[in-house]
């Protein structure tokens, strides 16, 4: 198949623009969601209130789950935007998302890979979050790009820039960045059967020195306990004996249809076609960058599959190389291969059409029943069905793999844009700390007299400043506050402390019940 013509290239650029504009919808209306987002907000609040920024804290103790670079950036944004603006927390991800798509454009020479990456729901949804995953993926991508240039041209500057990018990625999210870097180098060395000459020792020192420039002073400030927490629990513990997220090595293979949605089937077809070509005389016709991207995918999947702790979001790091492979396949596919690709896209769109058509007739139990009866929810399924039906017709009639790829990527974006516009109030009610904040504020007591046990951290755009002073307690240090809030599931753990209190409110968040008790 020849390269997309000018009309198709323009259509791809427009589609990329739509996916970028869509990520700016939710920050206008949503609060931070319970979980990592509200936890990170508490970290930032403590940084602002205490003035201690070099080693971020959570509930007064050093926060060792993540390196500090992401928190430093958000802390800076609080000065112009404030602590209670959603934009403060999501701008780093939004900027990283745009930068990631631009980097892929520079790497490949067109916007196809950028479109695939930008419409991957794992990347697109994370671009609107307060998490650091998109920033981490951006610097991994820059590091991989520079390493590719080093292997192609033996440029020492590229090797140094690669080490610099991987070092920054380490300071964003942790030691998996150098692991991926070393694995990528090893896989590419094995594939090419050679390595260029370069200052490898200097590059390795650069990659390690960047995170150590923070870690060593932090150890001096915090002492041996901090070292044990970082090294033994957060690094070694997650790798070989994780206490959370434990899963077998094939976890990511089984989850790939969801984590790579909506591109899983097209990616499989692209890999199948590549393997088929390699068996023919003359070998595969993949571009050098696409062949490098296969090693890149392995460098992400293999290490993450071997460590004990596993989360679907970790696979975001393989979305850029997957997008490169798919973009290369769309550009070079023969007529037979293009037909397979169109079928894969049609199946993906067909699944979305079935979901849209069946959604209004699904009946859930409990609170889900009321949710499914909302007019806005029914509108979501109708919107999805209409978008999928139109896309299916356009994709099939065009007989163009590029057009069908655009259709497959845009349908879920249309549906989620609808969610951002019509369902955000419902999402705020179900997935944020707003219900608990309202219940606590209704008690009209000083925040320092409120104890939270196994409760989410508090944050909302209209957060009562009084509640900044609530105490997050363990079972052994509750004391006798005026108000105690606890998750219902674990209330029995503090039964003795609750004697003399009576329940004054109950709230449901993220599918769980929480109770508020008062003397």
Terminal-residue alpha carbon distance, the chain = 74
3-state DSSP call for residue 374?
coil
Rounded to an integer, what distance in angstroms lies between the CA atom of residue 129 and that of residue 41?
A: 12
Contacts 24+ apart (CB under 8 A), 261-264: 261/120, 261/121, 261/122, 261/348, 261/412, 262/119, 262/120, 262/121, 262/348, 262/352, 262/408, 262/409, 262/411, 262/412, 263/116, 263/119, 263/120, 263/322, 263/323, 263/326, 263/408, 263/409, 264/348
Other C-beta atoms lying within 10 Å of the C-beta of residue 424: 17
Please name the residue ranges forming H helices in 375-444: 375-398, 401-422, 424-431, 434-441
* Cβ partners under 8 Å of residue 86, min gap 6: 27, 28, 30, 31, 32, 461
Parts of the chain with a pLDDT under 70? 1-7, 231-246, 278-285, 363-372
Residue 247 is predicted with a pLDDT of 73
What pLDDT is stored for residue 243 in this prediction? 43
CA atoms of 91 and 96, how far apart (whole Å):
8
Query: Is the peptide bond prior to 295 cis by the omega test (within 30 degrees of 0)?
Result: no
Per-residue pLDDT at 2 = 42
Q: Tell me, what's the pLDDT at 188?
A: 96
Structure tokens at 263: 């591109």
User: Among positive and negative, which fits the CA dihedral 18, 23, 28, 29?
Assistant: positive
- pTM (predicted TM-score): 0.93
Residue 357 has a pLDDT of 94
């Amino acid at each position: 198949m020849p390269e997309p013509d000018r009309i198709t290239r323009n259509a791809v650029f427009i589609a990329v623009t739509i996916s970028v504009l869509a990520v700016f919808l939710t920050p206008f209306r949503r609060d931070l969601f319970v979980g990592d987002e509200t936890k990170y907000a508490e970290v930032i609040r403590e940084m602002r209130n205490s003035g201690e920024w070099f080693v971020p804290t959570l509930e007064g103790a050093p926060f060792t789950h993540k390196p500090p670079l992401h928190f430093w950036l958000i802390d800076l944004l609080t000065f112009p935007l404030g602590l209670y603006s959603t934009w403060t927390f999501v701008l780093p991800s939004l900027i990283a998302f745009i930068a990631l798509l631009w980097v892929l454009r520079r790497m490949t020479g067109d916007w196809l890979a950028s479109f695939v990456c930008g419409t991957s729901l794992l990347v697109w949804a994370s671009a609107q979050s307060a998490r650091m995953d998109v920033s981490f993926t951006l610097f991994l991508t820059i590091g991989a790009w520079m390493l590719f240039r080093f292997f192609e041209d033996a440029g020492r500057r590229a090797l140094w820039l690669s080490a610099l990018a991987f070092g920054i990625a380490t300071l964003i999210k942790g030691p998996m960045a150098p692991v991926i870097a070393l694995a990528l180098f090893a896989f590419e060395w094995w594939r090419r059967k050679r390595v260029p000459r370069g200052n490898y020792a200097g590059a390795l020192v650069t990659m390690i020195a960047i995170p150590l420039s923070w870690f060593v002073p932090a150890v001096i400030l915090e002492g041996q306990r901090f070292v044990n927490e970082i090294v033994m629990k957060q690094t070694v513990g997650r790798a070989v004996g994780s206490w959370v997220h434990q899963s077998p090595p094939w976890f990511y293979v089984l989850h790939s249809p969801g984590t790579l949605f909506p591109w899983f089937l097209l990616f499989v077809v692209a890999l199948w076609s590549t393997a088929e070509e390699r068996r023919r005389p003359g070998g595969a016709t993949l571009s050098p960058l696409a062949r490098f991207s296969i090693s890149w995918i392995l460098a992400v999947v293999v290490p993450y599959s071997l460590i004990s702790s596993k989360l679907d979001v970790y696979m975001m790091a393989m979305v850029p190389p997957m997008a490169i492979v798919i973009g290369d396949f769309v550009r070079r596919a023969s007529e037979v291969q293009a037909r397979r690709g169109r079928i894969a896209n049609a199946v993906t769109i067909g699944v979305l059409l079935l979901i849209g058509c069946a959604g209004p007739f699904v009946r859930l139990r409990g609170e889900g029943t009321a949710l499914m009866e909302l007019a806005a929810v029914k509108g979501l399924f109708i919107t999805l069905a209409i978008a999928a039906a139109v896309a299916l017709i356009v994709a099939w009639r065009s007989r163009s793999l590029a057009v069908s790829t655009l259709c497959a990527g845009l349908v879920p974006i249309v549906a989620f844009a609808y969610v951002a516009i019509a369902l955000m109030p419902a999402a705020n009610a179900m997935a944020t700390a707003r219900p608990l904040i309202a219940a606590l504020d209704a008690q009209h007591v000083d925040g320092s007299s409120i104890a939270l046990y196994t409760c989410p951290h508090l944050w909302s755009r209209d957060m009562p400043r009084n509640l900044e002073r609530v105490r997050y307690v363990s079972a052994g240090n509750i004391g006798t506050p005026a108000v105690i809030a606890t998750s219902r599931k674990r209330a029995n753990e503090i039964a003795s402390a609750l004697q003399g209190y009576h329940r004054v409110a109950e709230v449901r968040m993220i599918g769980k019940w929480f109770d508020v008790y008062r003397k």
